[in-house]
Structure 1
Amino acid sequence: MSSFQSLQTTPETKSEEDVEYNKICEKHKQLIETLPKVDGWWVQHMYNYHDFWLSSYILKNNLLLHTFFKSQPTDIFLASFMKTGTTWLKALMFSTLNRHRYNFSDHYLHHHGPQSAFVLLDLETYPITDFTNLSHPRLFATHLAHTLLPACMSSCKFVYVCRDPKDVLISKWHFMSKLRSKDQPPLSLDEAFELFCLGVSEYGPFWEHVLSYWRVSLEFPDKILFLKYEEMKKQPEVVVQKLAAFMEKPFTAEEEKKGMVGDIVKLCSFENLSNLEVNKTGVEKFANMVEVENRDFFRKGEVGDWKNYLSEEMKEHIDRITDEKLRGSGLILTTTV
């Protein structure tokens, strides 16, 4: 699932693509020189592009995405802000869609991390790939806000997951601290808290990111299935049934009678996935340049872990920002756990 076939081209076509690619390189260079810049949580710098903070590499790939990516009507995208339950949702979506391809006693997810089941479009780069080797429907993932996506994706289905921002902050701080270069000074929780509240983190601001998908989901509920991590934790079987119906592969009465929904939930549970050898020792490589240990995708998966880190004053501050940002939208993210 994680190796992609390069686009086959004639010399003439390749020349045209090279011209386009060189244009993107020049535009990217100009943007990096002119856009507002701050220190990143993971990489050295982030740049404010169309009101969202992106690393230089992600910014360049966003330009490539708009120029070269060709969506198909059957494509399914998992979209999320970082550390909102993406890994779990990847496992659930993949196993639900492919429930007839694999035996639960020797499943794909027993030998591969959930990250490998989706193409992370944010990190695909030149030479452009055509993804012809992917089975259909093709599964893609992105952390980009909806407003940063190419128009060609508007006809495709999206599953979006959000989470209480207090838990997002803590999970993201832990994750980025593990990936942060040793050449950079450690990012303290106080620093991360202040930056997060200002909207300054990779792919942030968090609230604007969530709203970019929420608003579209209200207008086109058949195109965006909007999920909350906390509801997934409370009723995972209900969510799996929603996913199956949304992805146009609903469970039959016979499948439900046999307990297939429960089998998928059990297979993809945090307890099961985090204890698999592949997720204890495996490494996921993105775009042949970014390596992340699979175990770093599994920390706690708990609702309300923020209580172990944030003071009451910090909690109230984030809740106040959340209420202000989401006021009038009909969306509620804060939890009372």
Structure 2
Amino acid sequence: MSTPPCSPKRGPIPFGDTNLVPSPEQRKEEHADLISALPSASVPEGLRKLRLYQGFWLPELFVPAAINLQQRFEPRCDDVIVASFPKCGTTWLNALTFATMARAAYPPAGDDHPLLRLNPHQCLPFLESLFQGGREAELEALPSPRLMNTHMPLPMVSGAVPGCRVVYICRDPKDMVVSRWHFFRRHRPELPFKSIFESTCDGVTSYGPVWDHVLSYWRATIARPDKVLFLRYEELLCDPAGHVRRLAGFLGMSFSAPEEEAGTVDSIVQLCSFGHLKGLEANKIGHLNPLLPIPRDALFRNGASGDWVNHMTPEMASRLDDIVAEKMRGTGFTFSEL
């Protein structure tokens, strides 16, 4: 299959508005022998068994997606992928990237902006869902430029670099653990915090270990800063407008002088702000998807940095920090650059 030519920058269309006819799902037996032979582990949230595939603990359900992404994903030169480890700012970055890229078709201050009626995750196709069920044709049918989302570590979407642009966000693992615990308590209220903490320290968590996930994108941004933009959640919180400008520049869509004068950047920041998104009806009702029976409002609990101090003892925090520091030793990476 040939790679389609780059298109003019018109911005992505909301995936939830495409009205594409879902592709027939592939046979569930595909890759079954390979998957059954992989090491397995359970997770404390109790939703998914994990399988160790190429050094990462992936949800068993999405191992076929990883294989198919490696074998079948054909990026277009103007594709953009938003990537993250779960609970590290995915929803916010999805919204900011969509609003930035689609601002010509959907002015961020407009009364009919898709983010006013759709959850940010409805605006971007989730690559795992499409490639797990043999629904790649839905992705192929999207007009360019396409904007996509994934939690996969970079080796599973290795064809994306240098084929297209990737925007990655990381977060202090301590806050990630707290966010993950609160998120899955909506499904299992009795879930102990310690179980989420221990699984993270052991590296046996969905898409983990978290340090290897982060390093896969960190090394890529060092090698190809023109293709991989690496963001820290804490820095984005401190200066959202500055990082929206940085994002737009990376995407080749820098804000014009008239846009700056009109306050377009501030409009994007306000549209996508935690408080604004949390108050919208689209983010209060419904569930994330049939595979994850957790209410959408679970995505908008706190949004702050440093909440870990309310849940971890100093000893727990020190232990996780020490583990991460050891895993990152010699890489040049640190979670704290403020």
Same-fold call, TM cutoff 0.5: yes
CA offsets 1:305-337 (integer angstroms, 9 cap, x no match): 00110000001001111211112222111489x
Which amino acid in the other structure matches residue 159 of structure 1?
V
Distance 1:215 1:335, change over 3 A: closer
Q: CA deviation at 1:127?
A: 4.4
Distance 1:74 1:105, change over 3 A: closer
Match of 1:155 among 153, 158, 163: 163
Percent identity over the alignment?
37
Check if 1:34 corresponds to 2:42: no
Q: CA deviation at 1:25?
A: 3.1
CA offsets 1:230-278 (integer angstroms, 9 cap, x no match): 0000010110001111111110011111111111111110011101111
CA distance in 2, matches of 1:210, 1:295: 26
Check if 1:71 corresponds to 2:79: no
Distance 1:335 1:179, change over 3 A: farther
Indicate the SS of the match to 2:168: strand
CA offsets 1:113-166 (integer angstroms, 9 cap, x no match): 111111110111124424244342101111011012242553110000000000
The aligned residue for residue 187 of structure 1 is 191
> Is this contact kept in 1: 2:186–2:294, CA < 8 A?
no
CA offsets 1:55-83 (integer angstroms, 9 cap, x no match): 22111222222333322111100010000
The aligned residue for residue 96 of structure 2 is 92
Distance 1:321 1:38, change over 3 A: same
The aligned residue for residue 281 of structure 2 is 277
> Is this contact kept in 2: 1:319–1:334, CA < 8 A?
no
Indicate the SS of the match to 1:77: strand
> Is this contact kept in 1: 2:70–2:158, CA < 8 A?
yes
Distance 1:272 1:162, change over 3 A: same
> Is this contact kept in 1: 2:48–2:60, CA < 8 A?
no
CA distance in 1, matches of 2:325, 2:288: 37
Aligned residues: 318
Check if 1:112 corresponds to 2:115: no
The aligned runs of 1:200-219 (5 Å cut-off) are: 200-219=204-223
Moved more, 215-224 or 122-131: 122-131
**Structure 1 stretches lacking a partner, 5+ long:** 9-13
CA distance in 1, matches of 2:75, 2:275: 35
Which amino acid in the other structure matches residue 260 of structure 1?
T
**How large is the RMSD of aligned CA atoms in angstroms?**
2.3
Indicate the SS of the match to 2:284: helix
> Is this contact kept in 1: 2:22–2:138, CA < 8 A?
yes
CA distance in 2, matches of 1:283, 1:239: 30
The aligned runs of 1:1-337 (5 Å cut-off) are: 1-2=15-16, 3=18, 5=20, 25-26=29-30, 28-40=31-43, 41-103=45-107, 104-106=109-111, 107-124=113-130, 125-151=133-159, 153-179=161-187, 186-285=190-289, 289-334=291-336
Q: CA deviation at 1:289?
A: 4.6
> Is this contact kept in 2: 1:37–1:45, CA < 8 A?
yes
> Is this contact kept in 1: 2:161–2:227, CA < 8 A?
no
CA distance in 1, matches of 2:293, 2:254: 35
Distance 1:308 1:57, change over 3 A: same
Distance 1:144 1:44, change over 3 A: closer
Task: Return the TM-score normalized by structure 2.
Answer: 0.87
